A = this chain, B = another copy of it.
């Protein structure tokens, strides 16, 4: 049917474009959350991830994931572009969580390996060619629409491995066990970035339905986008309520992380939930973020952007939620998927980061961190004309 082919190609290009807005989305969010002395470095990492990951995926990863470039339902170039738009996100999750102390060069090396091999292998066994088909490790029956496990957890497992190897930022955890609060340097950028991510999610989840060219699929795409949005709303509202009840203050960075947690949590099942389920799922996602951020600080896992809570915990929660809220999905299939992907993503990332770290150390030393990575890594200050208070 030529008309279906045309419409689904246009739809994939539309969805892809929305996802690409997540590139400035992550960049602005992270640039706003870190201190001014690390802003250029974090922006540079974001741009380099998009550039390097997309090329590596085009040249190696895509074939590894899907076995072939062929596509019948839409233009194969559109199908590729849509998948390509995903790749960098897993690495953004990882790089954001080690910002303010990780060097650019080893991050770029890791980007190549993640985009060319690790992530494509995860896709292979979930959405792709599935080399595990028929084996005991086959996890293709996991329902994971747009990647609670495939994208968010995978990236966040890599982040956990990175944090364990790289360690926290200088002076983040005092000898007395106290956590030093490091405030975000530019709140408008944080808000802009989070909202661009939110919009990108419509393309991410809606596009993952794969086709809009039948009445049923048109309904499914629209419901998916609605559910995605609803979970984000619920995550924001619940965290705002928690913040107000506890502190009588509306901490906007936490509220936005609540929204992002809600958006992650609905990503596995937005296509099969009814319109009310995302309210509960997203709200729980928001609660998870609040307690998660505190938990990881207690564990001295330093994560300046809250990525472990938003993407790891909610990636897991969202994958499980599919089974809890949709009766025909097996809880065991979901858990098995989480375990297989988690063990592979964490182990492989750990090994890669460990080895890379020997040749090209990830961690900027204390003097460099004190001065800020912008000068050291980029030679460019983010705001050279503004006098600083610190």
- Give the CA-CA distance A206 to B255 in the complex, in Å: 32
Contact flag A250-B383 (CB < 8 Å), given A17-B199, A24-B195:
no
Contact flag A386-B386 (CB < 8 Å), given A51-B237, A51-B259, A250-B48:
yes
* Contact among B14, B48, B51, B229 with A54 in the assembled complex (CB-CB below 8 Å): B229
Which of A36-44, A127-135, A146-154, A321-329 lies at the binding interface? A36-44
Does A331 sit within 8 A of B, measured CB to CB?
Answer: no
- Give the CA-CA distance A223 to B12 in the complex, in Å: 13
Contact flag A236-B48 (CB < 8 Å), given A40-B252, A225-B13, A384-B185:
yes
Which of A72-80, A89-97, A303-311, A341-349 lies at the binding interface? A72-80
Q: Which of A220-242 contact B (CB under 8 A)?
A: 221-223, 225-226, 229-230, 232-234, 236-237, 240
Q: B206–A13 contact, CB under 8 A?
A: yes
**Taking each of A17, A215, A389, which has the highest tally of chain B beta carbons within 10 Å of its own beta carbon?**
A17
Q: How many monomers of this protein are in the complex?
A: 3
Size band of the interface chain A makes with B: 35 or more
Q: Which of A1-27 contact B (CB under 8 A)?
A: 2-3, 5-7, 9-14, 16-18, 20-21, 23-24, 27
Name the residue of chain B whose CB is nearest to the CB of A241: B108
Q: B11–A188 contact, CB under 8 A?
A: no
* Contact among B17, B47, B226 with A77 in the assembled complex (CB-CB below 8 Å): B226
Q: A36–B74 contact, CB under 8 A?
A: no
Q: A250–B191 contact, CB under 8 A?
A: no
* Contact among B105, B186, B244 with A105 in the assembled complex (CB-CB below 8 Å): B244
Q: Which 3 A-B pairs have CB atoms at the shortest separation, nearest pair first?
A: A77-B222, A249-B379, A78-B222
Residues of A whose CB lies within 8 Å of any CB of B are 2-3, 5-7, 9-14, 16-18, 20-21, 23-24, 27-28, 31-32, 35-36, 39-40, 43-44, 46-48, 50-52, 54-55, 58, 74-78, 80-81, 84, 104-105, 183-189, 191-192, 195-196, 198-199, 202, 206, 212-215, 217-219, 221-223, 225-226, 229-230, 232-234, 236-237, 240, 244, 247, 249-253, 255-256, 259, 275, 279, 377-390
